[in-house]
Structure 1
Amino acid sequence: MSSHVEHIPVPRNSMIHHELQSASFYDCHRISIGTSDAPALALYLKTVGQTPAWVDRLMGLRNTVVQWVGLKNLGTLSRIDPNRPLDSYAIGDRIGIFTLLAVSDQEVILGDSDKHLDVKVSVLRQSEGDKRHMAMSTVVHVHNTLGRIYMFFVGPAHKIIAPAVVARFPTVTSK
Structure 2
Amino acid sequence: MKVREVTPEVDTDTLLAGAQFTDAYHLETDDRTLTARRAAERMIGRPPRWVDALLTFRNILVAPFGLKTSGASQTEPRDMIGMFPVLSETPNRLVAGFNDKHLDFRVVVDVATSGASQGVTATTLVLTHNLLGRSYLAVILPLHRLIVRSMLRRVAARS
Q: TM-score range by the shorter chain?
A: 0.7 to 0.9
Change (3 A) 1:32 1:50: farther
- Is 1:171 the equivalent of 2:138? no
- Is 1:150 the equivalent of 2:140? no
- The 8 Å contact of residues 20 and 26 in structure 1, kept in 2 or not, is answered as no
Q: Structure 2: which 5+ residue stretches go unaligned?
A: 72-76
Q: Matched residue of 1:135: which SS?
A: strand
Matched with 2:74 is: none
After TM superposition, which residue ranges in structure 1, 4 or more long, deviate above 4 angstroms?
A: 15-21
Query: Could you tell me how far apart the structure 1 residues matched to 2:15 and 2:53 are?
Result: 30
Q: Matched residue of 1:64: which SS?
A: helix
Instruction: Give the alignment of 1:19-58 within 5 angstroms.
Output: 22-58=18-54
- Is 1:74 the equivalent of 2:61? no
Q: Matched residue of 1:168: which SS?
A: helix
- The Cα shift of 1:106 comes to 0.4
Measured against aligned partners, the alpha-carbon deviations of 1:22-77 in whole angstroms (never above 9, x if no partner) come to 322111111112132221101110222452211110000000000021112128xx
Instruction: Give the alignment of 1:1-175 within 5 angstroms.
Output: 2=1, 4-11=2-9, 14=10, 16=12, 22-74=18-70, 92-169=78-155, 170-172=157-159
- The Cα shift of 1:171 comes to 3.0
Instruction: Give the total of aligned pairs.
Output: 153
Query: Could you tell me how far apart the structure 2 residues matched to 1:148 and 1:68 are?
Result: 17
- TM-score (norm. length: structure 2): 0.85
Which structure has the highest helix share of the two? 2
- The 8 Å contact of residues 52 and 168 in structure 1, kept in 2 or not, is answered as no
Change (3 A) 1:116 1:160: same
- The 8 Å contact of residues 34 and 118 in structure 2, kept in 1 or not, is answered as no
Q: CA RMSD in A?
A: 2.2
- TM-score (norm. length: structure 1): 0.78
Percent same amino acid at aligned positions? 29
Q: Matched residue of 1:71: which SS?
A: coil
Q: 2:147 is aligned with what amino acid?
A: I
- The 8 Å contact of residues 44 and 81 in structure 2, kept in 1 or not, is answered as no
Q: Structure 1: which 5+ residue stretches go unaligned?
A: 76-90
